[in-house]
Structure 1
Amino acid sequence: MELITFVIAFLIGAVMGLTGAGGSILAVPVFTYLLRLDIITATGYSLFVVGITSLVGAIKNVVQKNIELKPALYFSIPSLTTVIVTRGTIVPLIPDEIFSSDSLVIEKQTLLLGLFAFLIFYAAYSMLKKKKVQEIKPVFDIKRLALQGAVLGVIMGLLGAGGGFMVVPVLVLIAGMEMKKAIGTSLMIISVNALSGFIAGASGLENIDWIFLVKFTVLMVAGILTGGYMTSKIDSQKLKTGFAWFITGVGAYILVKEFLSL
């Protein structure tokens, strides 16, 4: 099982390298259903893995000068605040049993995985829709940038996910950034938020398996580098479309598994 898990880690990284998406969207289901971790541990591990892999990409973009600090700060300060508060304070306060009646019991795990499934659907939609970002004249709006950052922090704190598919469009449409710089800046934002969320919620994780986490992360990074090398040899847009439909299936599987058993 461990070998299969590490092969999947490499494949997740390869998909990230080829499409620029998919890290947390696939990591959480793998941790939950393959390794049978509870949702809090699974999302916590996802924050660590995504944080480190995004940091690797962010460092590369710092060297290439593809990061704009001013928009990043306007976005990161509120997102950092909400991810820490959500992960460190709100998540531990959510009761294990959300709702209970004679015929129905909804637990924390079911609720969070249901929300995660809808986040997957949103990610798939953002990959499938025809983007016309360049046709829209961006208007730099600090309040909207900060609000979007705060929302991202809550989502990341609750679900251990919320990557470039949410951040990049905001940086392009609201901050008026070029796509290349928006991608680079988003990696920095995601790495800071994910690692901060992991640290904030670490006290709620029992017996963190650091050896496993490091191995999984290293293999994901190796996959990202491999995928990045292969981008010139594969039609990444077609792959992205196929991946979007694949994760739609993952989201549907989560909903069926969690809610048909109620």
Structure 2
Amino acid sequence: MTAQVFPTSTLSLPSVDTSSSSADSHVSLSRSAKIRRFFRKYFLEGQKLDQSLQKRFNEDYDSLPWYEKNRKYLAFLIPMTFWHLVWWPLAIRYNFFALYPTRYAMAVVMILGATVAGATSEGGGAVAFPVMTLLLKIDPIAARDFSLMIQSCGMASASFAVFFMRVQVEWMALFFVSIGAMFSIVIGLQFVDDLFDAHVKKMMFVSIWFSFAISLLILNLQKKRKTFDKIQNFNWQRALILFVTGIVGGLCSAFAGSGVDICAFSMLTLFFRVSEKVATPTTVILMAINTVIGFYWRHAIMSEVATLTWEYFEVAIPVVVVCAPIGAFLSSHCHRQALASFVYILELASLIGFLATSPPLRLIFIGAGIIVFSLGFFLLISRLGSRIHGLRHNKTSFREHPLAVS
């Protein structure tokens, strides 16, 4: 009936509808293609492997043995299997299962914490410490000890994954930062930790690293930022800078259970302009070394690990040793900007969590001062980094964005 009343319109409708449908399909396909391209770029970029292994993959992949072809999957399975073979006999012998009804919270938290630890420059303590102190109201010393203990397992597993996959790391930074940190974490645990109360530790933790996140964001807003796969023109002055970075980072780890990782990450990315894709696995290994030393000192030398900390540790191990290698595997495929974005989110969440606990106004003002001072410091080392690498005249990289450091 419609065709009889409006014959002209009915004849024209098919052509109009087809054109509209085609246009919508084109737009839809275009958007779909953009989404796929976005995910391929930022989350499926591929691993940055050791140069010799990458060359073998490129030139003669078909002739490689099966364990070489499946290296990244074995890197996850081997540490997970090892730790579970250790944990299950102990769990059965000492009935760890009885702890889960009351201590399950940290096992759940460490699903995220361990994945973050393996995937970013932030150790699992960056998640565990704020949750335990801000949400669960646990004493910061117990939270710090738990962070050290659980990362000694999780970060060790993630480090194995990094080594076994032969993901590229910065070896000079790994060596010199570790040397500085192994001394300072012992000094911090033994002598310095008692100088600060619980609220001050929480405030210092979130304030310093929030300012670093801001400075890293400002740096990454500079378009086409030039980065390197290793420290350029390495000499004794740069070795000294790394050593001092390790000393500061070890002291931070003594307060909050993590710190040497983010200290090293900040110096590598801001000053030495090492890519986040290389700096991240480097800091994973650094944190593994530092936490093992901290765990050893707190338990074997000081003998001050609380029973509550051991109980949380016992229930969280089977989760951490699975999620940390998964995090290392996932991050090795991500774009450096995606890794940096994870850091921004974590630091912002930590700051919001701290403010949500309604800290004293005095601490808020002190924290704001620390953020301003630390931000100035991080921006300063960023500018120094641009100068030593001859990037200060790179107008394309440094002056296209209004927030860029000139």
TM-score w.r.t. length of structure 1: 0.75
Q: Which runs of 5+ in 1 are unaligned?
A: 99-107
Contact 1:38 1:109 in 2 (8 A): yes
Change (3 A) 1:74 1:16: closer
Within a 5 Å distance, the mapping from 1:48-127 to structure 2 comes to: 48-65=149-166, 66-92=168-194, 94=195, 108-125=197-214
Query: How many angstroms apart in 2 are the aligned matches of 1:179 and 1:63?
Result: 20
Alignment match of 2:125 (pick from 24, 29, 35): 24
Q: Which amino acid aligns with 1:250?
A: G
If you compute each CA radius of gyration, which structure gives the higher value, 1 or 2?
2
Alignment of 1:214-253 (within 5 A): 214-227=314-327, 236=338, 241-253=344-356
- Does the 8 A contact of 1:50 with 1:191 survive in 2? yes
Give % identity.
18
2:52 corresponds in structure 1 to none
Corresponding residue for 1:166? 263
Q: Which residue does 2:313 correspond to in 1? A: 213
SS in structure 1 at match of 2:122: coil
Within 5 A, what are the aligned runs for 1:109-188? Answer: 109-125=198-214, 128-131=217-220, 132=225, 134=227, 138-140=232-234, 141-162=238-259, 164-171=261-268, 179-188=276-285
Q: Which moved more, 1:14-23 or 1:140-149?
A: 14-23
Q: Deviations over 1:116-169 (max 9, x none)?
A: 231342354255333346189845311111111111111111222215432234
| C-alpha separation in 1, matches of 2:293 and 2:125 | 15
Instruction: Name whichever of 115-124 and 37-46 sits farther off.
Output: 115-124
2:138 is matched with which residue? Answer: 37
Distance 2:176 2:115 in 1: 31
Comparing 59-68 with 153-162, which one deviates more in the overlay? 59-68
The aligned residue for residue 55 of structure 2 is none
Kindly indicate whether the alpha-carbon contact (under 8 Å) linking 1:83 and 1:157 is maintained by their aligned counterparts in 2: yes
Q: Per-residue displacement from partner, 1:20-72 (whole Å, max 9, x unpaired)?
A: 53622221122224443211111111112223222111112222333454432
Moved more, 43-52 or 220-229: 220-229
- What aligned pairs does 1:248-259 form with structure 2 within 5 A after superposition? 248-253=351-356, 256-257=358-359, 259=361
Q: Is the Cα contact below 8 Å between 1:86 and 1:154 reproduced in 2? A: yes
CA contact (8 A) 2:155 2:288 kept: yes
Note if 1:8 corresponds to 2:109. Answer: yes
Which segments of 5 or more consecutive residues in structure 2 lack a partner in the other structure?
1-101, 365-406
**Which region of structure 1 is more displaced relative to structure 2, 13-22 or 44-53?**
13-22
Q: How far apart are the structure 2 equivalents of 1:164 and 1:126?
A: 17
CA-based RMSD:
3.6
- State the 1:111 CA deviation: 2.0
